[in-house]
Amino acid sequence: MASKAIHAYYDDDDVLMLAVKRVKAAKHHIEEVYCPFPVHGLDKAMGLAPTRIAITSFIYGCIGLTVATVMMNYIMIEDWPQDIGGKPSFSYIENMPSFVPIMFELTVFFAAHLMVITFYMRSRLWPFKEAENPDVRTTDDHFLMEIDIHDNEKELKDLLLDTGAVEINIVEKTSH
Amino acid sequence: MYTFSNKLKIGSFILMALGILGIAIGFISAPSTIEEAKAIVASHGDGHGDAHGAVDAHEVTGHEVSAETHGEAAEAHGESHDSSHDEHLLHQLQNKPWAALYVAAFFFFMIALGVLAFYAIQRAAQAGWSPLLFRVMEGITSYLVPGGIIVFVILALSMFHMNHLFVWADADVVANDHLLQGKAGYLNPTFFLIRAAIFLGGWIFYREYSRKLSLKQDESDDNSNFKLNFRISAGFLVFYLISESIMSWDWIMSVDPHWFSTLFGWYVFASMFVSGITVIAMVTIYLKSRGYLPDVNDSHIHDLAKFMFGISIFWTYLWFSQFMLIWYSNIPEEITYFITRIEDYRLPFFGMVAMNFLFPVLLLMNSDYKRLNWFVIMAGVVILGGHYMDIFNMIMPSTVGDQWFIGIPEIGAVLFFAGLFIFWVFRALTTAPLQPKRNPFIEESRHFHY
């Protein structure tokens, strides 16, 4: 694998967007782009696949709804069908309106929390995780594009300088 | 400029003609005497006979029990109950064509009113995406004038005892009903019609004034018309929230004058709001497919579909909140409202929840589907059908009771008002350019993308 990478710095998100488009047009693989804030349309310009996190959330919501239904059917209808204030506990459907608030909340609870946890796992985020910024300035006011070098250092450098990079560094990559 | 396509015009005339025919058949076949009413029920075939038989059996056992305890008095009671039952049946059957007319008239009127509320919100919120659609909304709200007049005429005829839609308008009924006497200060024909006239006048006035300012803004060289429109829209929303709430008590809740619910105004509002947004989306998609709205893109449709999705859920939230609170506490004077609906209207009552909630939620959840025009149209048809059923479920149980059926009078009335609605709305769309010229947000709206 490539052990060297080129880091191009930009100080404006519009310049960065144009640079990403130029680099993609020149058929170079962009390893990573570091930004201090979300740049609208950057994922499209880089050609990243759309996220599927909404789909996972829908599935988690369905699981939550099932959990709520099964739980209350067991507790309130099957296990001990007590008469509590005249509520009909003969079958689930007869007493369903009083379960709806819980069914709704558990659906939202599962959909929200499991989706967030999925996001953390997929993005490899957790407490005490070592930060991966290549440069502290990328959290403040600089944008950084990282491209692996495959014996084409000169060509890449020229291309990136031409796209308006304010600084270009060659770095030894340490494996993750 | 939009030109009214001949096909659509002829189509709307055919709808109106068929509709008038259906309405006329409904009125002609309504019984005028108790004997005719009994004959209609007797000839009604097996499907209905079964349900009625079950009710009869129930009544018989009820009488037996009371006969044992009360002896002779109970028999006398039974006889008087029989004759009053027949008169009740006659009134229900006589109400059928009127109720069918009223439900359809109100349904199409409330679409225009819902669009007017949406339009005022877009103006007051200074939305950047929607100015491209303002002319479409103004076209739809033009139906407020004929639709409002027709609803008002039906209400006035009810007050002049042409029908029994509003039982509290009948002085004989009030004389025997202590509860209605207590409400007579509010529910009396004169005050009722004055309120209706004020509300309709206010809504139509805002619509016409805002439309005038909107057209003037196109020709002016500053933004004063736009700013004035912003202010009157904000003012209108205050008036609208109050008047819509009272309108829902007057025009809908008072067909059931013994019953009351505090969130009813919001519930009716949600129904008209989602129907209105759905019609905006459908008319926009139609005009775009004919090439009249070149600057409207997928994102505008996406936004409308998001509103359809969100407000459908809002409607369900209110429907359920009203139902569950009353079901849970089960207080006799409130629960009768839902008992009659669940016993006699099981399919329409729960079917409408499926149409207004499950269907839009599952169809319009996916972001990509909200951009597919045919998907939005399909969901829109179901939503509109569901909200027709919603109004049907509000009016019918207290006017025609278990004699309901979706037959010729009901379908005829829907066809007539659909034809009138299409004719009036698309005629209004031809009177002004479909794209505002000098709206300060028009550039943002043209480049809107999500």
Angle between helix B264-289 and helix B298-329 axes, rounded to 10 deg: 160
The verdict on residue B1 lying in a domain is no
Nearest chain B CA: its distance from A126 CA (Å): 30
Contacts of B327 in chain A (CB under 8 A): 97
CA B173 to CA B275: how far, in whole Å? 35
List, as ranges, residues 313-332 from B with C-beta within 8 Å of A.
Answer: 320, 323-324, 327-328, 330
Residue contact B327–A97, C-beta within 8 A:
yes
Residue of chain A with shortest Cα separation from B367: A54
**Residue closest to A169 by CA, chosen among A4, A3, A2:** A4
Residue contact B328–A58, C-beta within 8 A:
no
Give the pLDDT band of residue B55 (cuts 50, 70, 90).
Answer: very low
Instruction: Return the residue in B318, B324, B368 with the most chain A beta carbons within 10 A, the one to mutate for interface testing.
Output: B324
Nearest chain B CA: its distance from A133 CA (Å): 30
Q: How many residues would you count in chain A?
A: 176
- Check whether A172 has a pLDDT greater than 80: yes
The verdict on residue B91 lying in a domain is yes
**Residue closest to A33 by CA, chosen among A51, A25, A23:** A23
The verdict on residue B99 lying in a domain is yes
Instruction: Please give the residue range of the domain that contains residue B183.
Output: 6-446
pLDDT of residue B33: 83
Q: pLDDT tens across B61-82, in order? A: 434 444 344 444 444 444 455 6
Mean pLDDT value across chain A = 92
**Residue A166: CB partners within 8 Å, gap ≥ 6?**
A9, A10, A11, A142
Contacts of A100 in chain B (CB under 8 A): 320, 324
Mean pLDDT of A52-63: 96
Contacts of B323 in chain A (CB under 8 A): 97
The verdict on residue B250 lying in a domain is yes
Residue contact B367–A54, C-beta within 8 A:
yes
Q: Which residues pair with A5 in a beta bridge?
A: A148, A171
Q: What is the ipTM of this complex?
A: 0.89
Asked whether the beta carbons of B138 and B211 are under 8 A apart, the reply is yes
pLDDT of residue B83: 74
**Residue closest to B250 by CA, chosen among B164, B192, B167:** B192
pTM for the predicted model, two decimal places: 0.90
pLDDT of residue A175: 61
Contacts of A98 in chain B (CB under 8 A): 324, 328
Mean pLDDT of A84-101: 94
CA B298 to CA B449: how far, in whole Å? 8
Asked whether the beta carbons of B114 and B240 are under 8 A apart, the reply is no
Contacts of A58 in chain B (CB under 8 A): 365
Residue contact A86–B330, C-beta within 8 A:
yes
* The dihedral sign for the CA sequence B178, B184, B189, B193: negative
Residue contact B323–A58, C-beta within 8 A:
no
Q: What is the domain count for chain B?
A: 1
Report the 10 Å Cβ neighbour count for B222: 9
- Check whether A51 has a pLDDT greater than 90: yes
Label residue B100 exposed, middle or buried (CB < 10 Å: 0-12, 13-18, 19+).
Answer: buried
